[in-house]
Amino acid sequence: MTRSVVWIALLLALLEARGAEGQPSPPARLEHAVALIAEARYAEAQQILEQIAGSLGEASGGQVHYHLAVCHIKQRQWTQAEEALKISFQRSAPTLPGIFMNAFVLFHRGRYNESLAAISGYLEKDPGNAEAHKVKGLSYFMLGRQGEAEAELKRAAALDPRDSDSFYYLGRIFFSRSNMPGALASFEQAIRLSPDSVRAYNHLGQTLEGLADFPAARDAYLKAIALEQQQPVKSQWPYFNLGGLYIKEGQAREAIGYLRQALARNPAWAEGKIRLAVALSSTGQCQEALALLDDVIRTNPKDADAHYQLSRVLRKIGRRKQAEEHALMFETLRKPKLSRAE
């Protein structure tokens, strides 16, 4: 009898460890998923967590969906991350990391007021978190509240002076206010902390261009391009800005190749088509310029800049009547709309 009891106990323990169908139990599978997350194997962890959630249904706890949200965030799956956090909060009390993650996800979903409210609540409980101050500052930044954004990003930089993002966005704020020395110092610090940052070199180039240091600006854009070509994430901006600098310097022929590369990275980009058309027209390639501008206007008939540049090209090739029509359309579109009170 004693031997039978021992065997039954062993069998029950085995079933608990392996599951009824020979699979590891949900707690063991959850532990395995967490280990995979620590190894940055997010897709594998996500698959296991989704299997747990599917098998347990509403009985799956908040921890399963919390870790599922982590997987979605790491893979930039913002909609799924928000849904996973919502379920996690329904099934267990929100933790501080969960509250932070929720604010982070809301920011990346473009819901900046909600992100601001969530991260402000978080900071009441953890005021020394540099990442939280950064999220708050970026929410202010996206809402156009530059003064508050600057204050929060300065707090973030003071709490974690090794984080390049805070200095990068401070540079963006200073640049938007035409504070070029402040922008220059911020972007240079961002680059010291993150020397492979395409966006920091690109904005450094814009700042140097604003300071009329065109050779240094060109070097910064070229560095951004060299880095971009080595990285999987592509950006049209350094090509676009370098092309614009060449046009500004009267070197439209040199601009064309870079502007083509910018457009190759974003083929539907109206602004890229317009700038390439300007360079082409300046070098006598008017038919291709016309085709680009016609394409922009066909997609967006209210693009004032496209009408303006098209009028210039048409005038250049002697089609004056059509040029006047597009010039008139430009004037109409750029006029500010009056409110009823006016």
Question: Which residues in the chain show pLDDT less than 50?
Answer: 1, 3-20, 337-342
- Say what the pLDDT of residue 8 is: 39
- Give the end-to-end CA distance of the chain in Å, rounded to a whole number: 97
Q: Is 166 exposed, middle or buried (0-12, 13-18, 19+ CB in 10 A)?
A: buried
Instruction: Answer for the pair 294, 288: CB distance below 8 angstroms, yes or no.
Output: no
The whole-number pLDDT of residue 100 equals: 97
pLDDT at 56: 78
Nearest residue to 129 via CA among 174, 163, 170, 105: 163
d(CA 120, CA 248): 44
Rounded CA separation 43/27 (Å): 19
CA proximity to 123, closest of 136, 139, 112, 113 = 136
List, for residues 260-291, the tens digit of each pLDDT value.
Answer: 999 999 999 999 999 999 999 999 999 999 99
Helices 270-282 and 286-299 cross at an angle (nearest 10°) of 160
Nearest CA-CA partner of 173 in 192, 197, 157, 193 = 157
- pLDDT of the residue at 340: 35
What is the distance between the alpha carbons of residues 136 and 150, in angstroms, rounded to a whole number?
10
Give yes or no for a contact between 242 and 221, defined as CB atoms under 8 angstroms apart. yes
What are 138's two structure tokens? 């970026």
Task: Report d(CA 329, CA 86) in Å as an integer.
Answer: 49
Q: What is the model's pLDDT at position 21? A: 53
How far is Cα of residue 100 from the mean position of the Cα atoms in its chain? 18
Residue 97: count of CB within 10 angstroms of its CB: 12
pLDDT at 10: 40
Letter for the amino acid at 219? D
Q: Is the Cβ–Cβ distance between 52 and 36 less than 8 Å?
A: no
Asked if residue 272 lies in contact with residue 236, where contact means CB atoms within 8 angstroms, the answer is yes
Longest Cα separation, the chain: 107
pLDDT of residue 336: 59
